[in-house]
Amino acid sequence: MMRRWIACAALAATPGAAGPAVAEVPQVHALTGARIVVAPGEILETGTIVLRDGVIEAVGPAAATPADARTWDLEGLTVYPGLIEPYAVRARPESDGEPVARQGGNGNALVTPEHSVAPYASHAETARKLREAGFTTALVAPAEGVFRGSGALLNLGDGSPGENLLRDGLGQFVSFARGAESYPRSLMGAIALFRQTLLDATWYAAARRAYERDPGQARPAFDSSLAALGGISAGDELVVIETADAKGTLRAAALVEELGLRAWLVGNGEEYKWLGPIAESALPHLLPVVFPDQPAVPDEDDLTVELAALRHWDAAPANPARLLDSGLTVAFTSHGLSDPKTLHTHLASAIERGLSAEQALAAFTTTPARLLGIDDRAGTLSVGKMANLVVVDGDLFTKETRVRELWVDGRRHEIKETKPPEVEPAGTWALTVETPDGEQIPVLLVLEGAAPSLSGTVAAMGGDPLSLTSAEVSGTIVEVVFDSTSLGMPGSISFTLEIRDENAEGSGVSPSGPFTISGSRTVRPEVTP
């Protein structure tokens, strides 16, 4: 009987079994001896946090460690509430294959409000990078179009998409994007398309109501796009509008007022240029913490750098504090950063320019939790809330910030320190996976490219190769991640291998349980002279 990779990733399915056994993982933990930041401005110099079945059971200086808990000594470290990413943009997978001419939908490829990001919101590599920055929860938004569709709110654990998903169908995401080869090909056209589509949605909703009252009249043709926008055009549902610059913020605010929308704006870092009228809009902002690099000036007599660029470089780090001080509701986002981990360095610069550490923490915890309607279960380290927290050396939001580990739904994720590559593991590796019950299963791993980031495939027991999500080298260790959904295991499988010459050994974990893995390289890549 041919077993799939699910056998080696879990506890090895056996003939006649209803399914793979699940490894027992402790669900009760006590984190002791840590400095605990319960909420912005509320700090316990030392205490214990008890986690049970993914929920915070107790927190405080005298919280008792349950007899059935696994104890983790965090003396010298600081525990914060898990950060919440309110705008993690995700492009549609190339295999999505959704036709432009949808059933009853808008004929413009940039208008897909009925689209949902939920089916592909969970992505192992994206989740890993966000966790490295301290995020435990994210609102994932679709990336393409004018009307892009609805978002999905999920935790960033290694479980299945169903286990991580907190809410789907959240908001309608919009930008004033231009078409490469079709209408709209200008900003004016994109704004016109936005306005006209919402006006059409208002008419469509009224026409459908009239037909329901009097079915004897001609029935309006079904339009999935306009139907999806009914709550938006009525001002009942949320629309999130991405802006490109300060003038774009003012345009978006004017459209929100004109059309009576309930909206948030995704900021751009230039709000300080028109702070007065932007503050008057009173619209919540999801503000990227992206600041420009110092302009390169070869010598003091070089006058080629534009004054506007110099002014923006100087003013941008002060923008978060100024926006918050204006009275606006502001949540921060790592959107626009090539690596989310760099947000700590950027926020350190903002703190030097007037932002307080409490404001920074609130903008990544309590504020997005309130905006997203999950403040009853996230944003602070309080009893009854999700066991989502981040453990760091020292303080968050400094240039030296080092995230040590995260807990997502009460499950620990160690953040490994990245080291310069000491090995080149490209080639074909014949490996053997050993499950906890001693069964051995052959696996073929093919790695291509050069350290630190490689690509490749993995195949078990002669099965079809699966593309790797990531293969990252740190020192002598290569960490491999791939999507196991096609194997009937929604989520991802990951394993690490320590490379020693032509041999390797390590361990891994799947949504169903742990395993060990070892083997040797059988084929090296050809060297081009």
pLDDT at 87: 98
Assigned token pair, 459: 């195949």
CB 209 within 8 A of CB 203: no
Tell me the DSSP string of 175-214. Answer: E----SSSS--SHHHHHHHHHHHHHHHHHHHHHHHHHHH-
pLDDT at 102: 54
- Residue 388, classed as helix, strand or coil, is coil
The reply to whether the predicted model has a pTM over 0.85 is no
Please give the class, per CATH, of domain 5-22+419-523: mainly beta
pLDDT at 527: 64
Q: What residues contact 308, with CB distance under 8 A and at least 6 apart?
A: none
The CATH number assigned to the domain with range 110-295+306-374 reads: 3.20.20.140
Assigned token pair, 122: 């969970």
For strands 83-90 and 135-142, give the pairing.
Answer: parallel
- Residue 252, classed as helix, strand or coil, is helix
pLDDT at 4: 42
Helix (H) or strand (E) segment spanning residue 477: strand 477-483
| In the chain, domain spans | 5-22+419-523, 110-295+306-374
pLDDT at 6: 45
pLDDT at 415: 87
Q: Cis before residue 215, ω within 30 degrees of 0? A: no
CB 447 within 8 A of CB 427: yes
- Residue 239: closest CA among 277, 270, 201, 205: 201
> Block means of pLDDT (10 residues each) for the chain, length 529 residues?
41 38 64 97 97 97 94 96 97 60 75 94 89 97 95 91 92 92 92 96 94 92 93 93 96 96 97 96 97 76 74 94 97 94 94 97 98 98 98 92 94 85 95 88 94 91 86 91 75 86 90 85 79
| 249: phi then psi, degrees, rounded to nearest 5 | -65, -45
Which pairs from 163-169 meet CB under 8 Å and 24+ separation? 163/409, 163/491, 164/122, 164/409, 165/118, 165/121, 165/122, 166/137, 166/374, 168/116, 168/118, 168/121, 169/116, 169/118
Neighbours of 351 (CB within 10 A): 18
pLDDT at 99: 45
CB 517 within 8 A of CB 430: no
- Residue 81: closest CA among 331, 376, 378: 378
CB 520 within 8 A of CB 500: no
Euclidean distance between CA atoms 411 and 159, whole angstroms: 10
CB 424 within 8 A of CB 446: no
Helix axes 343-352, 357-364, angle to 10 degrees: 140
